[in-house]
Amino acid sequence: MVQKIALEEHVMTPGLAEYWLPTMSELPKPAAENFFNRLNDFGGRRIEEMDKGGITKAVLSVAGPGVQAERDAALATKKSREANDQLAVEIQKHPDRYAGFAHIAVQDPKNAADELERCIRDLKFCGVMINGHTNGMYLDNALFDPFWERVNALGATVYIHPADPVSQMPVLEGFKVLSRPMWGWGVETGSHALRLIVGGHFERFPNAKLMLGHLGETLPFLLWRLDSRAKFQGLKLPKPPSDYIKRNVFVTTSGMCALEPLRCSIDAMGLSNVLFAADYPFEDAAEAGHWMDTVAISDAERAAVAYDNAVKVLKL
């Protein structure tokens, strides 16, 4: 069993359940209650599940949408700071098993920048998770530049987690099964990342690191086509999109326990850009861990993806 650090492991902190519960409205009540109970568990059951999967450390993050759904900027800022303080307390109860991603309200970009720096320098968090768009605004919006300037200065990692789109794509109407994790969230989140990439974001903020789950929301599969169509359409960037993806984007295995997309991601982006995640409690940590132990890749690749890359990228 190889050592593992898992990077998309969700929790709930007091004051944020009101944003999360509506996203579970279509689930049977027992399933939603089970998720909620596991999100709020920072001790026995969570660590037991980690042990079953051989997960040495979990990087904890607030389940979305969190404060990204709050329209009052002052309240969002207040709640994000409270959530980070509460998460830090829980991490300190098991510092050898847990690390944290900050929960940031970008509604107030200057305060968001300060909170990110506080979380990294004082609370010792290893990056930030943003739960998709913030009230319809994506992270390429120029209003968020003060936040990105601090991300760039710190060399920080911003993990974009899926969220429901502002409006559903008409092609998915009548097919609820496609609208969220099965397909729609990947389209939404991959598109969010591409806005940053083709918008020249990583020319302006070259030290910023972007992280995506689900082995990159299909982006590793599309690198050649992204470059081909960017050239064809006259995209004015110093480098092709794939260069920025290979330099600034990192992907995790959350919710993707299959050799073929893993092999594609390693070969397309480079071994150092692919990291392990389980997506607990929405996926089975023991299943993800067993898959990482047995998937048909080399021992060197397994060690890098499962553990070593997280140590290097997130300075764990």
Alpha helices in the chain (DSSP H): 17-20, 29-39, 44-52, 73-93, 109-121, 145-154, 176-179, 184-198, 201-204, 223-232, 241-248, 259-269, 285-294, 299-303, 309-314
CA distance 100 to 110: 21
For 278-304, what is each residue's pLDDT tens digit?
A: 999 999 999 999 999 999 999 999 999
Query: Can you give the pLDDT at residue 290?
Result: 98
Domain segments of the chain as ranges: 4-314
Active-site hit among 145, 279, 284, 299: 279
CATH of domain 4-314: 3.20.20.140
Query: Can you give the pLDDT at residue 212?
Result: 98
- The answer to whether 279 is a known catalytic residue is yes
Query: Can you give the pLDDT at residue 23?
Result: 87
Query: Can you give the pLDDT at residue 253?
Result: 98
173 Cβ neighbours under 8 A, 6+ residues apart: none
Pairing assessment for the beta strands 249-252 and 209-212 based on DSSP bridges: parallel
Question: What are the strands of the beta sheet with 249-252, ordered from one edge?
Answer: 102-103, 128-130, 157-160, 209-212, 249-252, 274-275
Give residue for tokens 């594609």: 264
94 Cβ neighbours under 8 A, 6+ residues apart: 42, 43, 47
Residues of the chain under the 50 pLDDT cut? none
Query: Can you give the pLDDT at residue 305?
Result: 98
Query: Can you give the pLDDT at residue 302?
Result: 98
Query: Can you give the pLDDT at residue 27?
Result: 85
Q: Give the pair of three-digit tokens for residue 141.
A: 């919006």
* DSSP state for residue 45 in the 8-state scheme: H
For 225-256, what is each residue's pLDDT tens digit?
A: 999 999 999 999 999 999 999 999 999 999 99
In terms of Cβ atoms closer than 10 Å to its own Cβ (0-12, 13-18, 19+), residue 183 is middle
**Ramachandran assignment for 257, one of left (phi > 0), alpha (psi -120 to 50 degrees), beta (any other):** beta
Query: Can you give the pLDDT at residue 3?
Result: 97
CA distance 36 to 276: 23
Query: Can you give the pLDDT at residue 264?
Result: 98
Question: What are the strands of the beta sheet with 98-100, ordered from one edge?
Answer: 4-11, 55-62, 98-100
